[in-house]
Amino acid sequence: MEATEYRDMTSENLRTRLQETRRELFNLRQQWYAGSLQDHNRLRAVRKDIARILTVLRERELAAENQEGAAA
């Protein structure tokens, strides 16, 4: 997914997606160590997805802090 698609999701959906993606990364790493991983590029793609989700969540966190600071 692209960052724009993640930005359209709610924060709860993003957190759920983050858990699923981290679980997928864990499973891919287990396959890597066992020597049964078929698509090695998937590891990199999943790590980038995790980074995108965390970036969007952080952007929202900073935006909320800026709104609180402007209101005070």
- Listed by start position, the domains of the chain span 3-71
Q: Residue range 11-19: average pLDDT?
A: 97
The pLDDT of residue 60 is: 96
Check whether 2 has a pLDDT greater than 90: no
SS3 annotation, 5-52: HHHCCCHHHHHHHHHHHHHHHHHHHHHHHHCCCCCCHHHHHHHHHHHH
The CATH number assigned to the domain with range 3-71 reads 1.10.287.310
Quickly count: other Cβ atoms within 10 Å of residue 65's Cβ: 10
pLDDT tens readout for residues 16-66:
999 999 999 999 999 999 999 999 999 999 999 999 999 999 999 999 999
The pLDDT of residue 68 is: 85
